[in-house]
Structure 1
C-alpha cells in the first residue's frame, strides 16, 4: 500500500542551520517572520508548524553565544497569534516538563487547542543541565533518570486533566447552551513528583486533546515515545540509520497496545533545491560554508573537546589535545557523554580527506539532507517514506522566513502528482492531518 508523506515546518530561530549573512535573512523575533513561514507551510498543506524552546541564552566562556543575541520568544504566545492567521495548520510548541507544573502545562496547551479549533501539539522535552536551572527558583537539576520520571509523570497528569471533562457525561442546557456536570473537570493525582487535586478549567477541544510530540534518540527516549507520543521528532544521518530507527521504535508499540500507525516518525531534515542536481550541490556547499563560520566551528569543536580552543586556527588541523568530559566551556548546549570515539572519528575523516577543523565540522554535521532538483528531492523523500525510513519529515530551512518557499512551490506539486501528498487538508484538526484517532 502506498503511504502518504507527512511534512512539518520548523522555524529556524537561533540555530546553526540559519544563514545569518544572507541578504534575504529576516528577523528571528518579528511576528511577520513567523507568519510568513506559517502561511507558506499552510499553503503547502503541511501538518504542523514547529517551534523550539530556549529557557536560557547559550554562553561561550561567559559571553552570550552570537546566535542567541536576537533573543528567544515564548512559543505558546507566538503560536496563539498564529492561530488567528491560519486555519488548518497544526501549531506545535516545545515546552519543558522539568520547569513547568502539570496543571499550568495542561491549561496553557488546552487554551491554544481551544483557540485554534483543535490544532495544538506539545513537544515534551526535559532539561539536561543545572545552567538552565539557574533561571528558576529550584535551580533545578535532576539526574537523567529522574528527568524522564518527571516527564512521564507530567505527561500522565496532563492527559488526566485534559480527559477530566468527559464529553459523554456533559449535560447541555438547551436554553443557555452552557454545559454543566457534577464533578466536571475533577482530578486528583499522587505521584513521585506531584501531589495535586482540583478541577480543570477547560473542556476538550474538537480534537479531544493536543497531539504529543517527543524528541530523542536514546533508548529511554524511544521507550518514552512508544509509550505515549503521537509523533517522534528524531535525527538520522543516513537512509539505513532511518530504517533501523523506524523498525526499532515501531516494534516497541505493541507492548503498549498501540498500532504502528499510532506513532508518526518524522526526522528533522534540511533541503536544498536547485534548477538541476549540480546546481543544488553547488548551492548546498555554499550554504554549509555560511552556516559554519570559523568562530562557529571553534564553538562546536569546544562542545566536543570540552576545552577552550580559541587559540586554534579553524582553518588549521584538529587539536591534538584529548577531550575533557563534563566541561562547562560552552553552556546551554547538549554536551557529549563519551566524546573520545567521536573525536577519533573526526580525526580519521580529517586525515583521509585532508580537512581542516572547520571543514571537518561542516562535514560531520549529522542532519539528513535532501539536495537536488525538485524531482530528485521529491523522489528521495518519497523513497524514505515508502521504504520505512520515516513517515515524513520536519523541514528545517536555512533562511528565515523564506526558506520553505522553493520547496512548497516546486517540490510539493511533484509529491502531489505522485499521489503521496494531500492536495487539501483532511479535516479541521491536527489529528485529522496526522491520521490519528481523536
Structure 2
C-alpha cells in the first residue's frame, strides 16, 4: 500500500477494559482484571505497537442496582497508581495514565504519588483528572458527599493549580553532587509552598524535584460546558466520548476554539475519543463479528439493567427479548447508585421508545441499538483508512482504544492495523523520545509563577 502525503499523524492509547459489560466475560479468552499478568500483557502489547500511553479507569465504590452489587460490574477494582508503578518497572517507553478523583483526595498527597510515578517511569506519567459529585461514592470517605455538584470544578481547578505549584517548587539546579557529600539539595533551591484557598490550605516544602518531563501529563474527560472550559485551561489530552465524525468535529472545533482565551495554541491540547473496533478479513465479516460482540456484551440481564437506568424503575418483570412495555419512567432515578445519572431521562426515554416503535425492536435489540460501541468496523485496511479520515477531518487527534477482551483484545489491532497506519505514514514506527510529552508532541510545561 502506498504511503500517503498526510499532513497529520495520529496518536494511539490503550484503555484496560473491564468496566461493566465492555469485556465479553463469557469468551474463554477473557482473563482476570486483577492479576498483574493481565495488565502486563495489555501494556506490553501497547508498547509493541508504539502506543503513546496505557490508560486505567478508576472506581471508588462498587456500583449498585436496586440495592445490590450489579452481577456484571467489575470483579474488583485495583488502585490505578499502584498498578502503574508496577508497570513502570516492566515497560520502557509507554506512557502510564491513571484516573484519580480530585474530589476525594488531597493535593499534597496525590501530587507526591504522581510525582513518584513520574520519576519511577522517567517521565511517562499522566493523571486523568476526574470529579465525583455523588454522595453514594462519598460514603466511603470521611467528608462524605459534602461537595455540591456545582463546586466540583472549582475544587478541581484549585487542586490542580496547587499540585502544579508543588511540582514546580524545586529549582532545576536544586540537586547538586559533591565528592564528599554525595548528592545534596542546594540551599534555597526548594521553595516553600504557601496556599490558603477555598478548598485547601497547604504550607510546606515538597519532597521531590521535577521529573524528566516537568510534571505529569494532564488528561480530562468532562463534556459539560464547565468540563470543556476546564480542559481548555488545564488539560494536555481530552478523553472524549464523541465517536461519530460529525459530533467529533463539532466537539473538536468547540474545545480548540476555547484555548485562545487561556493563552494556548491548538497543538497544545490533544483530543482523543474512546474508540472500539471489530476486525475481519473483509468488511462484511467484520460487521458480522461486531454484531456478535454486541449481543455478547448486551445479554438479557444487561439489557434489563440498561433499561432500568433510563426508566428509573424495576423492569425485571418484562422479557428482554420482548417489546418495550407501555410503562412511563419514574420521577425518582434512585434505582442505580454509583453511576453518572442520565440527564433529562424523560427525553432519553422518549427517544428510545420512538426508535423501538420505528424499528420494531425488542428491549435487548433496543439497548444494542442505542448503546452501540464499535466505533470502527471493517477490514484492517478499512479501519486504518477510517481512522486517518477522522484525524484529517479534525474530528480527533487520535484514539484511546477499548478492546472487548481482557487482556488479549488489543493484539489483533496491533498485529493487523498498526502496520497499515505505519505504512500510510500516519503513525510512528519507533519511539523518537523517552517521555510521554515527547510521544504527544507537547512542550515542557510552563513553570508556575
Q: Does the 8 Å CA contact 1:107/1:202 hold for their aligned counterparts?
A: yes
> Structure 2: how far apart are the matches of 1:368 and 1:225?
26
Q: 1:140 aligns with which of 135, 145, 151?
A: 145
How many aligned positions are there?
Answer: 437
> Structure 2: how far apart are the matches of 1:105 and 1:325?
39
Q: Secondary structure at the match of 1:258?
A: coil
Following superposition, the deviation at residue 328 of structure 1 comes to: 1.7
Q: 1:80 aligns with which of 75, 80, 85?
A: 85
Identify the residue that residue 391 of structure 1 maps to in structure 2.
Answer: 397
Following superposition, the deviation at residue 140 of structure 1 comes to: 2.4
Following superposition, the deviation at residue 325 of structure 1 comes to: 4.6
Following superposition, the deviation at residue 128 of structure 1 comes to: 2.5
Q: 1:63 aligns with which of 44, 64, 68?
A: 68
Q: Does the 8 Å CA contact 1:128/1:334 hold for their aligned counterparts?
A: no
Q: CA RMSD in A?
A: 1.3
Q: Does 1:280 align with 2:286?
A: yes
Could you tell me which runs of 5 or more consecutive residues in structure 1 were left unpaired when the two chains were aligned. none
Q: 1:367 and 1:226, CA in 2 relative to 1: closer, same or farther beyond 3 A?
A: farther
Q: Does 1:95 align with 2:83?
A: no
> Structure 1: how far apart are the matches of 2:151 and 2:189?
33
Q: Does the 8 Å CA contact 1:162/1:209 hold for their aligned counterparts?
A: yes
Q: Does the 8 Å CA contact 2:18/2:74 hold for their aligned counterparts?
A: no
Identify the residue that residue 3 of structure 2 maps to in structure 1.
Answer: none
Superposition map of 1:39-438 within 5 A: 39-68=44-73, 70-168=75-173, 170=174, 172-175=176-179, 176-182=182-188, 184-365=190-371, 367=373, 369-438=375-444
Cα deviation, 1:44-87, whole Å, max 9, x if unaligned, reads 00000000000000111121111335110000000000001100
Q: Does 1:8 align with 2:18?
A: no
> Structure 1: how far apart are the matches of 2:158 and 2:373?
31
Q: Does the 8 Å CA contact 2:171/2:189 hold for their aligned counterparts?
A: no
Q: Does the 8 Å CA contact 1:171/1:181 hold for their aligned counterparts?
A: no
Following superposition, the deviation at residue 366 of structure 1 comes to: 5.1
Q: Does the 8 Å CA contact 2:17/2:404 hold for their aligned counterparts?
A: yes
Following superposition, the deviation at residue 22 of structure 1 comes to: 0.3
Q: Does the 8 Å CA contact 2:320/2:363 hold for their aligned counterparts?
A: yes
Following superposition, the deviation at residue 347 of structure 1 comes to: 1.1
> Structure 1: how far apart are the matches of 2:372 and 2:225?
19
Cα deviation, 1:248-302, whole Å, max 9, x if unaligned, reads 0000000000000000000001011111101100000000000011111111111
> Structure 2: how far apart are the matches of 1:173 and 1:179?
9
Q: Does 1:17 align with 2:22?
A: yes
> Structure 2: how far apart are the matches of 1:141 and 1:70?
28
The TM-score, its normalising length taken from structure 1, stands at: 0.97
Q: Secondary structure at the match of 1:253?
A: helix
Following superposition, the deviation at residue 321 of structure 1 comes to: 2.1
> Structure 2: how far apart are the matches of 1:237 and 1:84?
34
Q: Does the 8 Å CA contact 1:306/1:323 hold for their aligned counterparts?
A: yes
Deviates more, 1:315-324 or 1:389-398: 315-324
Cα deviation, 1:121-168, whole Å, max 9, x if unaligned, reads 000001131110111111124222211111111111111111111215
Cα deviation, 1:83-105, whole Å, max 9, x if unaligned, reads 01100000000001100000011
Cα deviation, 1:106-134, whole Å, max 9, x if unaligned, reads 00000000000000000000113111011
Cα deviation, 1:297-350, whole Å, max 9, x if unaligned, reads 111111111111111111112232222354221111111131111111111111
Could you tell me which runs of 5 or more consecutive residues in structure 2 were left unpaired when the two chains were aligned. 1-5, 445-449
> Structure 1: how far apart are the matches of 2:27 and 2:197?
50
> Structure 2: how far apart are the matches of 1:80 and 1:7?
21
Q: Secondary structure at the match of 1:196?
A: strand
> Structure 2: how far apart are the matches of 1:157 and 1:392?
30
Q: Does the 8 Å CA contact 2:20/2:74 hold for their aligned counterparts?
A: no
Q: Does the 8 Å CA contact 1:47/1:89 hold for their aligned counterparts?
A: yes
Deviates more, 1:229-238 or 1:67-76: 67-76
Moved over 4 A (4+): none
Q: Secondary structure at the match of 2:14?
A: strand
Q: Secondary structure at the match of 1:403?
A: helix
The TM-score, its normalising length taken from structure 2, stands at: 0.95
Q: Secondary structure at the match of 2:178?
A: coil
Following superposition, the deviation at residue 368 of structure 1 comes to: 5.8
